[in-house]
Structure 1
Amino acid sequence: MQLLVQPIGQSIDFGVGDNLLDTLRRAAVPISYSCSAGRCGTCRCKIIDGSIEVGGDRADCSTDAVLACQATLTENCTIEIPEPDEIVVHPARVLKGTVDSVEAPAHDVRIVRFRTNRPLSFSPGQFATVQFGRGLERPYSMASVEGDDLLEFHIRIVPGGAVSGHVARTLRRGDTARISGPLGTSYLRRKHDGPIICVGGGTGLAPVQSIVRATLESGNRKPVHLYFGVRSEADLYGAPTLAELHQRYPNLHVQIVVASGSVHAGHRAGLVPDAIAADWPDNHALQHFRGYVCGSPPMVAAVTTALVAQGLDAGRIYADAFFTQPQVVSQPA
């Protein structure tokens, strides 16, 4: 049996029942992966022709994507792996984190920093699962970058939320948590050395902060545009950090967009998609950019539409939608 891998055009022999990720790795095909257990999402690929079995069900070209680690080869098929030149492989790890600090920069946000028993290898923009205790487990994005002394998370306090309620009312310096990861595919594409546009809504600032810091600290001097959208001035946090980054890196351009209420000097009133449309009126203006979008599902959808309308190829927009429902654990909150 034969597996054809696009866009590299490599053909691989396999046996019926072989795992797709194992087959690709044996053939030295460049594909991102981490947990190998169907949680991190990094080994996502698309079926172009034929079919693959996933969890006992048939998946074919009508399926949006499959995770290679969960897919079983059953017949001749063709798959497409995304960006074979942007591969990341971080070993899945479970760490012990000790709370170093808990800050409340806004009424419904806590910044929690952990000192871990060993380093966590991750790409800027990824997230991890944080378990504070039995039944108190949620995914949160790293706001720090690999190599920082502390692992930083921005946690939104959700009314009635068991985990965020624990963070708001109970969590203290010296408490411990179980941190596992990394997870997620909306990470910084390091081989792109052109301009980027990053958009964060609410605690979507966390992965955006990590992405922006990493690209600036790597020496990229192309324009980096960061839009940070909040509901009101009372919900705004992180402005001093963004100002400090701008002072260090003049190629960073920060726009703080406030949806309602009074707006402080230097901030903009309205919605982020409208601000993007106003700043980039030419429908080809963003064609050489890469985009990173993190926030609530409606915000991610609206911003993605705005970016595409201004010329950014949808395939170059990397997005994570933040869900608040406890049952949804595939994306950070």
Structure 2
Amino acid sequence: MPKIYLAGTPVAGTPVAGTPLGDQEFVVQPDSNLLDALLEHGHKVPWSCRSGHCQSCLVQARPDEAPSAARSLLSPEQQSKGWLLACQCLVQQDMHISLHDPTTDGLPARISEMRYLADDILLLRLAPERPLRFRAGQHLVLWLDASLARPYSIASLPADGELAFHLRLHAQGAFSNAIRQCQLGDRLYLGSAAGHFHYDPAWQDTPLLMLGSGTGLAPLQAIARDALLAGHEAPITVWHWSRADTPCYLTQPLLKLADQYPQLRLHLRSRAELPSDLTQLRLASRKTLALLCGPPAFIEQLRKPLFMAGLPGRQILDEAFISRQ
């Protein structure tokens, strides 16, 4: 039976993140999921998607004990330091691990702005204490403490200086309720930027078709602005569907951007109009690249209409929002 040797770390009920308790060890069944094993033994490891996408369940192991499948979605730098994703790790041998501590392993950032863009969408702007490398449209984990973290897409550009996020707040969401209590100047911690959802300079002459629902607009508008600032000349068509009777929460900034760049075309619609809109999708050319962002069901709803419009699967790039509240 493989053993987990866990460096001193808080367990459930310990109020202060990072308080050392001394090394611990426990036995698990072969091929147990590491995240499940840690949770079962009382360790409050953050998790969100369980697919390796959000990167909130980071743990660190000895490099020779970290399975490649649990590291493949991380950056080369993270891999070299032994970081792995607990949700993607099957325990097949003894492992010596330590849990991620955002106060030492993350990047501190101060809240510089909190403003509602809609009744349930909060603009959160953060000033990192050190520069952060990222591409517009990528995502990262926001840590409130060692046990509460969620992934969010970056809605700003590197040139903006600060980081912006569009957070949909849920009435009973643990992270939502905690962030509501934060104030200007409070400190959060940032994970590393990750994800393939960003503008590629090779797309310079490629028509872009962007389709989003809800706060899926956050990375799409960032990618559109990044493309336009890079001199993208081909058409960029943005479709966004809001909840019934709720206007697009970025209507005015987008209209202002479209006035400045004639190649940007906007369709800001109600979600009730989605089925009929999908029957009217047209491609600017066969080279069109589609970028989809929103809940998994929304993205799956788009695939067949895009195929019927003549877009092969290899020309579809998607970012599904799979996250706990």
For the criterion TM > 0.5, the same-fold answer is yes
Q: Contact 2:234–2:263 (CA<8 Å) still a contact in 1?
A: yes
Structure 2 residue 217 is matched with structure 1 residue 210: no
SS of aligned partner of 2:150: strand
User: Which position in structure 1 is the counterpart of 2:318?
Assistant: 319
Tell me which protein shows more strand as a share of its residues: 1
Cα separation, 2, equivalents of 1:35 and 1:235: 41
Q: Contact 2:142–2:189 (CA<8 Å) still a contact in 1?
A: yes
Q: Contact 1:107–1:234 (CA<8 Å) still a contact in 2?
A: no
| 1:131-156 deviation per Cα after TM superposition (whole angstroms, max 9, x unaligned) | 12343210000000122121000101
Q: CA RMSD in A?
A: 3.0
User: Which position in structure 1 is the counterpart of 2:209?
Assistant: 197
Runs of 5+ in structure 2 lacking a partner?
1-64, 93-104
User: Which position in structure 1 is the counterpart of 2:279?
Assistant: 277
Cα separation, 1, equivalents of 2:142 and 2:252: 26
> Are the structure 2 counterparts of residues 315 and 165 from structure 1 closer, same or farther at C-alpha, using a change threshold of 3 Å?
same
Q: Contact 1:122–1:182 (CA<8 Å) still a contact in 2?
A: yes
Q: Contact 2:240–2:269 (CA<8 Å) still a contact in 1?
A: yes
Q: Which 4+ stretches in 1 moved above 3 angstroms?
A: 17-21, 31-35, 54-57
> Are the structure 2 counterparts of residues 136 and 18 from structure 1 closer, same or farther at C-alpha, using a change threshold of 3 Å?
closer
Runs of 5+ in structure 1 lacking a partner?
1-16, 25-30, 40-53, 58-92, 261-269, 327-333
Structure 2 residue 151 is matched with structure 1 residue 139: yes
> Are the structure 2 counterparts of residues 242 and 183 from structure 1 closer, same or farther at C-alpha, using a change threshold of 3 Å?
same
> Are the structure 2 counterparts of residues 34 and 145 from structure 1 closer, same or farther at C-alpha, using a change threshold of 3 Å?
farther
Q: Report the alpha carbon displacement of residue 232 of structure 1 after superposing the two structures with TM.
A: 2.2
SS of aligned partner of 2:203: coil
1:245 to 237, 250, 257: 257
| 1:246-269 deviation per Cα after TM superposition (whole angstroms, max 9, x unaligned) | 111110001011024xxxxxxxxx
Tell me which protein shows more helix as a share of its residues: 2
The percent identity for this pair of structures is 26
> Are the structure 2 counterparts of residues 38 and 219 from structure 1 closer, same or farther at C-alpha, using a change threshold of 3 Å?
farther
> Are the structure 2 counterparts of residues 185 and 240 from structure 1 closer, same or farther at C-alpha, using a change threshold of 3 Å?
same
Aligned 1:43-192 pairs, distance under 5 A: 55=90, 94-167=106-179, 169-192=180-203
- The amino acid that maps onto 2:177 is G
Q: Report the alpha carbon displacement of residue 19 of structure 1 after superposing the two structures with TM.
A: 8.6
Cα separation, 2, equivalents of 1:230 and 1:179: 29
**Aligned residue-pair number:** 243
| 1:229-278 deviation per Cα after TM superposition (whole angstroms, max 9, x unaligned) | 11123363011111111111110001011024xxxxxxxxx01x532431
TM-score by length of 1: 0.66
Cα separation, 1, equivalents of 2:323 and 2:276: 25
Q: Report the alpha carbon displacement of residue 105 of structure 1 after superposing the two structures with TM.
A: 1.3
| 1:83-105 deviation per Cα after TM superposition (whole angstroms, max 9, x unaligned) | xxxxxxxxxx8321111101111
Q: Report the alpha carbon displacement of residue 287 of structure 1 after superposing the two structures with TM.
A: 2.4
TM-score by length of 2: 0.67
Q: Report the alpha carbon displacement of residue 302 of structure 1 after superposing the two structures with TM.
A: 0.9
> Are the structure 2 counterparts of residues 244 and 303 from structure 1 closer, same or farther at C-alpha, using a change threshold of 3 Å?
same
User: Which position in structure 2 is the counterpart of 1:300?
Assistant: 299
- The amino acid that maps onto 1:109 is I
